[in-house]
Structure 1
Amino acid sequence: MHRASPVPSIGVAYHCLDVPFWFDHLDADGVDRIAGAPPADLAGQVHGAAVSFVRDRNPGWSLWDATARRARVFDAAASVPLVESDAYADVAPLI
């Protein structure tokens, strides 16, 4: 999961910012210090996909395909799941 933290900071990497979303636990101590006021709807989407994946082996979108390179984009404003084609094009030169 990639979500830019709205909290300005220098020299801090937000490597686990997805954890409160994954477990739908935005009220945990310290979350607001790194995530600001994260949208509860977004946490519900991420948590729902995680539960579905663990329970049914289906997070709600198609499996990874190296040719199409689609990725699920979580967006609190989206009413249906967004799937982006060639989602990693901007970082491909780094690989």
Structure 2
Amino acid sequence: MLKKCISDPSLILPTESVRIKDGLSYEEIPVQILYRQVCRLRTKEVASVKVLWRNQFVEEATWEAEEDKKKRYPHLFESGGNADQGINFLLSAL
């Protein structure tokens, strides 16, 4: 049996702002580094960063390896984008 679906208009993204390729895919671009943490293992330390992506909400930010993101997106690390700046930016946007 089918149930009535109530849509949430706040979850709809405008299609003009998303550049869709011929294969119906698009590239996510990181906007900002929100947080940085270092996990200490027995023999090494692993640094990871929480990345805010374009066209996604803060709740959907993902943890990524810092080394990989520095190689691919060095501009995110040049401005000294630490966690305090990222959080203050997001709070001011609200």
Q: TM-score range by the shorter chain?
A: under 0.3
For CA contacts below 8 A with separation 6 or more, give which structure has more relative contact order. Answer: 2
More strand by share: 2
**Structure with greater Cα Rg:** 2
| TM-score, structure 2 normalization | 0.20
| TM-score, structure 1 normalization | 0.20
